[in-house]
Every structure is written in structure tokens, then in C-alpha cells.
Amino acid sequence: MTRGSLAALLITGERGGVLSPIRIEVSDAVCGLLGFLTTHGTNEALVARVDQAMHCLRHRGPDEHGTWNDDDLVFGFNRLSIIDLEHSHQPLRWGPPESPERYALTFNGEIYNYLEIRAALKEEFDAQFRTEGDSEAIVAAFHYWGSDAVERLRGMFAFAVWDTESRELFIARDPFGIKPLFLASGTQGTAFGSEKKSLLELADSIGIGVELDPRAIEHYTVLQYVPEPESLHAQIRRLESGCYARVRPGQLPEITRYFQPKFPVRPFTKGSAPERYQEIAQALEDSVAKHMRADVTVGSFLSGGIDSTAIAALAMRHNPNLITFTTGFEREGYSEVDVAAESAAAIGARHVVKVVSPAEFAAAIPEIVWYLDDPVADPALVPLWFIAREARKHVKVVLSGEGADELFGGYTIYREPLSLAPFDRLPAGVRRLAGKLSDRIPEGTRGKSLLHRGSLPLEERYYGNARSFNDAQLRAVLRDFRPEWTHQDVTAPIYAESKGWDPVTRMQHLDLFTWLRGDILVKADKMTMANSLELRVPFLDPEVFKVASTLPLEQKITTRKTQPRDKSPHTTKYALRQALEGIVPDHVLHRAKLGFPVPLRHWLAGSELYDWARDQIVSSQADHIIDKNAVLTMLDEHKAGVSDHSRRLWTVIVFMIWHGIFVEKRIVPTIAEPQYPVSL
């Protein structure tokens, strides 16, 4: 069978039955990449070092491995083959007819509109292609359109293009930060990779140190993740989402932001509402259709909420044999297994469930932290890791609902500006007095938090969904606490870009650059790729964002005043819910968000995890960073019910395990070689 005939083949979906046909499309570039642009030229020893460091990326691409180099650059890749095994090997060489191997490309991700890009390039420039994949679309687009090409790509990507004629390296990352890319520049050159651990293995060759960044540690303890562009290693950074970099041998990267979110609000009228809701539904349906492009079986994660249910319901239109996956715990109130099963039945999907025990949960933590590169203290990533492992037994690609909350206004905290609106009308002096009064009210007293938060401007009180330590608690735990290092180091530049917008939109904008790319997308990418599973997120599509960004406040967060005749006036994602009527089952449409909750508070106070947590704290050798006695006191207070310290404890314990792996080398996780079905 020729490659061309494969691209047009119709198959019958899931094995073992007569099913509706599914059209095969092509995508070819899910992998782990590593590159090194040297200052003094490459040699055989350096190529061997890069090749060896690629073992850290084995899970991201267990199907194929290789390196390529010239006098200045070494590329390495591990590939998770989705299609086009015969032609779309990486690093990929391409060039125009007059110089057919001018460029070398290595690429992690998927370009969902690559067919349209290839067609446009053929029509405008008579571009020639040798494969049917999306990798060639990237490098050809770069050749003909230059850096503007990145703004035309619909997809998730981190890629590097080396121009062998101009001797310039071009590195880019997708607008929302779905795919990771770390950077390190030292005396010997600049290296970049999908995972930080591979750069750590090359530290001597790059000419960088491996010292920790104390400010990044403090940011982590407050935010529960390491904010971009930081990493916990001072000399390794991340290329931020929506940015590209140009690098020449012997020079530092020149970084440019190409994606800056805008919110050009278009007011709703009584007559325009149905059309606007239809616009949302059509944009999302088109995105899901493009995200279904693959010639392997595609599944979908499914919780009990509207976001994942909408994606699964729309995916069913393209594959009536869709498999959905959910996870939960054997504790009432901490599982959406039943709701997800009801949703799967309502849309007609085959459903797979994984229930995680406390023992499984604790045993998996070291391996999970190793995969993370930097600590993320979101306990939801643990059940995500388990369900990804289960899903990989059945499929190679899954869809998920990440990004809907940030785009459509889905977090409950987004209601806060409405409840605090009366404070905004007070003179600044009165608000300051309210803040001083709140300081005198005993902890736990009703109204203290409202008074305190109402006294603060948005820029000071909101720094994302994660809220962990306050200054007093942090001072007790961190040995080198610096009060001048605050969340505003991270948030102030972002808030500066949104002056004049309504407060809810400003919160959404902030979360796009903090919580979404620092927590949500990190755990989504790391936990699925740890299991050699590709995750696709149709909400985080430029065309979906284009529609969502025009929504006025009352179409996101609603009250009785803004939606007086609605049955559920106090809701979030109002416009999205209206758009999904008839697509999402009624039992989910107006249901409150839950996700994959973890009974961490109960487990740390009880027999399930208390002893395990105490052992992690006592055995840690991070005493110069963390006051272990203070943490043990917190643990005992939590066990006694004096205070709920669960999230703070988890933040510290995850850091201690990370330190034990990457600094002390005391913890050596067992990383199993991927053993998955070949044909999915």
C-alpha cells in the first residue's frame, strides 16, 4: 500500500466489530526532543553524550530513537509513532527544490491544520513535499513565511528548525504552553529539550551549574508549581508559552513573544444570543474534528463535569466507538465514577474505570515526581497518572477538557469580584482600615477572610487558583524566607498588560499565564507522556479562544441580576453551557465542577498516609531549605484536627521527594520500561 493510499484509507474503528467508517488523517511528530547548539563545534563525544541523555525521554517516544548532527548542532529525538512510519522520521530534512536539505527539524506535538497549511503553501509558492505528515508543513511554512508561520499553526508544539545556510536555530512553543521546552545556555553553547532531566545530564557539556534557585523555591511553595520561565535549577529556564527564540552559535537566545491574548468583547443582544451560542458550538466542534485526526485509536478522558463530557460527546460524532476513561477513590464525595459512567452511557461510549487505593497512591509518588522534572503540588496529577496508564492499554491518543475554565470563566473564584464589588466603591483609606481591622480578628472567625480580601486590590489578592502558604506560615517553614520575593514577582507584569479590563477577564488572563501553563498543562503533558500516551486538548485551540475571548462578563459569571429568568442564575461558563445544550447530557449541563478530587485531607490525618508522610519528612535531607520540625508540627496539628494543613503539607512533601531524587540522589524511583500494545 502506498503512503498516499494510506492517507485516504477508510477503516472500521475499534477492533472486533463492524463499525462506522473513520477517515484516517496523518500526524507524525509526537516525541521527546533534545538539541545542543555548541559554541566550539560538535565532535563524536558530544554526539554520544546527547544520544545517552535521550534515555531520560524514552517514555515520550518509545517507538523510535536517533540523532543527527553537523558542525554546530546535535539533534536527538525519541518518537511515539502515530503514523507515517516510512517517511516522517526525525530529525527531518527539508528544503526548497534549489536546496532540498537546507533545514533540519525536530518537533514534539501535533499540527491539526497541517492539511490546510500544506494546501496553502502549494497554492501560494508551489511548495513540494516528500511526506504526508505535519512535520514538513512546519518547516516549509517557516521557509516561506518566516517567523509568522507560528501564528498560523493550530496545534500543540515545541519545535526547533536549524537553517544550515544561515547557521541560525529557530525554536518555538505553542500559544498556550501545551508542550514543554526547557532552555539552558552556558559557556559551551545552548541546549534545549522536552524534559529538564536530559539537560541536567548534559550540564557539564553545556557549561552550566546545577545550583537551585531559592526564589523559584519560594514561588513554588506559594503557588504549588514553578512559574514560567523559572525552573528550580537556576541555570535552566523554560521557553515561555507563545514565544519563539533565535540562536546563533556562541550567542544567547533572542526571545520574542508572538502570542499576546486579547479579549475584544462583543456585547450580546436579545436577538444575537442564539447565533453567538451556535458560534461557540461550531468552533468547538471544528476543533474536536481536527483533534480527531489520527490513524490510531483515539479515546477521551471523562470526569463528571461539562468540559470533558462535551469533548467526548463531540468526539463520538467522529468515532462512534469512542472509549472513555475515568478514575476515582473509594471514598464518598471524592469520586465522579458514577456520574462519568452515567455520562458515558448517555452518549453511548464504551467506558473504562480505574479506582486508586491509598497504598497505590503513595507508592507511585516517587516515579511521578521523577517524570514531573519540577515539583507540582497538585494531588490531582496522581489519579491522572493512573488513568493515563490504564488508557494506554487501549489507545495511543486521548482527548481531554483542559482550558475550558480559563477560556469561558469556569472557576468559582471568578465570582469573587462580584461579591467584593461593594468594597470597590469605598475610599482607599477606608479599605486600608478594613484590612487593619481584619488583622485583629482571630483566625477562623466568620467574615475575617472577606474583610481582608475586600481591603486588597485585585493585583494583590489574586494570584491564581492555587493558594497555599501565607507569609507567616512560610516564614515558619522556609529557612531562607525572603518577604520581598512574592507572587507579585510573577503576576505584576501580567496584570500590567490587562489594565482597563473587567476584573474577571483580568483573572482569566492571569490564569492563562500562571495556573494553566504552570499546573494544569504540566500535569496533563507529564502524566500522559509518562505512559507514552498523547493527550490533546481541543478547548485550547486558537479558533476556540477567538470566540471565547469576545464574551462579556455576564456570559461567563452569572447572578440573578444578570440572568434573572435563568433556572440556575448563579453559575460559571454560562455561554458555554448554553452552547452545549443538546450536546451534553442534562445531568451534567449545570453540574458544579469537581474534576478528579483526592481525599488528601482525610488520608494525611488517618492511617492511610500519616505514617508515610512522616517518614518522607523525617528522611528528607533538605534541612537547609525546609524546617522539618515545623513541618512535623503541621502534620500533627492536621492529624489532631487543629487545622487543615493538607495542601501545605503536600506542597512540602512533594518538594522533599523531588529534592531526594534530583539533589540528594537518595531516592531512585523504579522507572519501568514501557510495555504497551503495538497496534492501537
Give DSSP secondary structure letters for 411-455.
-GGGGHHHHTHHHHTS-HHHHHHHHHHHHHSPTT-TTHHHHHHHT
Residue 14 pLDDT > 70: no
At 293, the pLDDT band (50, 70, 90 cuts) reads confident
From the candidates 26, 30, 31, 161, which is the catalytic residue?
Answer: 31
Is residue 595 assigned to a domain?
no
Q: Which pLDDT score, from 0 to 100, does residue 83 have?
A: 47
572 and 625: one domain?
no
Is residue 641 assigned to a domain?
yes
Q: Which of 104, 101, 95, 94 is nearest to 72 (CA)?
A: 104
The average pLDDT across 15-41 equals 60
Range of the domain at 446: 412-498
Residue 290 pLDDT > 70: yes
Residue 672 pLDDT > 90: no
Q: Which residue has the higher pLDDT, 12 or 328?
A: 328
Is residue 339 assigned to a domain?
yes
131 and 178: one domain?
yes
Q: Give the end of a domain, one of 470, 498, 526.
A: 498
Q: Which pLDDT score, from 0 to 100, does residue 596 have?
A: 65
Q: Which pLDDT score, from 0 to 100, does residue 10 have?
A: 25
Least reliable range by pLDDT among 467-476, 637-646, 658-667: 467-476
DSSP 227: P
Residues linked to residue 183 through DSSP beta bridges, in sequence order: 192, 237
Residue 143 pLDDT > 60: yes
Q: How far is CA 558 from the centre of its chain?
A: 28
Cell 479558533: give the residue. 543
Q: Which residues have C-beta within 8 Å of that of residue 249, sequence separation ≥ 6?
A: 37, 38, 39, 72, 167, 189
Is residue 453 assigned to a domain?
yes
End-to-end CA distance of the chain: 19
Buried b (16+ CB within 10 A) or exposed e, 388-408: bbbbbebbbbbbbbbbbbbbb
State the Cα–Cα distance between residues 253 and 256, nearest whole angstrom: 10
Phi and psi (nearest 5°) for 657? -65, -45
State the Cα–Cα distance between residues 349 and 436, nearest whole angstrom: 55
Cell 540523532: give the residue. 67
CATH number, domain of 279, equals: 3.40.50.620
Q: Which pLDDT score, from 0 to 100, does residue 563 have?
A: 60
579 and 606: one domain?
no
295 and 440: one domain?
no
181 and 44: one domain?
yes
Q: How far is CA 648 from the centre of its chain?
A: 22
pLDDT 10s digits, 412-421: 999 999 989 9
Least reliable range by pLDDT among 186-190, 480-484, 567-571, 664-668: 567-571
241 and 301: one domain?
no
The average pLDDT across 336-364 equals 92
Residue 62 pLDDT > 90: no
132 and 151: one domain?
yes
Helices 306-316, 273-291: crossing angle, 10 deg rounding? 70
DSSP 466: -
Per the annotation, the verdict on 31 as an active-site residue is: yes
Is residue 506 assigned to a domain?
no
From residue 416, give the alpha-carbon distance in Å to each of 110, 134, 306. 37, 43, 22
Q: Which residue has the higher pLDDT, 337 or 233?
A: 233
CATH number, domain of 170, equals: 3.60.20.10
At 6, the pLDDT band (50, 70, 90 cuts) reads very low
Q: Which pLDDT score, from 0 to 100, does residue 367 have?
A: 96
Residue 205 pLDDT > 50: yes
Phi and psi (nearest 5°) for 395? -140, 170
Least reliable range by pLDDT among 59-73, 397-411, 643-657: 59-73
49 and 59: one domain?
yes
Least reliable range by pLDDT among 16-30, 212-226, 470-484, 533-547: 16-30
Q: 244 and 173 in contact (C-beta within 8 Å)?
A: yes
For the chain, what's the residue count? 680
DSSP 591: P
35 and 167: one domain?
yes
The average pLDDT across 611-615 equals 98
Q: Which residue has the higher pLDDT, 336 or 237?
A: 237
Q: Which three cell numbers stand for residue 223?
A: 503557588
406 and 418: one domain?
no
Is residue 343 assigned to a domain?
yes
Is residue 388 assigned to a domain?
yes
The tally of domains found in the chain comes to 4
Residue 373 pLDDT > 50: yes
**Can you spell out the DSSP letters for 260-288?**
----------TTTHHHHHHHHHHHHHHHH
Q: Which three cell numbers stand for residue 335?
A: 469520586
Q: Which pLDDT score, from 0 to 100, does residue 374 have?
A: 98
Q: Give the end of a domain, one of 191, 222, 257.
A: 257
226 and 155: one domain?
yes
Is residue 610 assigned to a domain?
yes
The average pLDDT across 570-587 equals 92
Q: Which pLDDT score, from 0 to 100, does residue 450 have?
A: 87
- Give the percent of the chain with pLDDT over 90: 74
Q: Give the end of a domain, one of 257, 289, 316.
A: 257
Least reliable range by pLDDT among 38-42, 57-61, 92-96, 155-159: 57-61
452 and 326: one domain?
no
Assessment of whether the complete model's pTM goes beyond 0.85 = yes
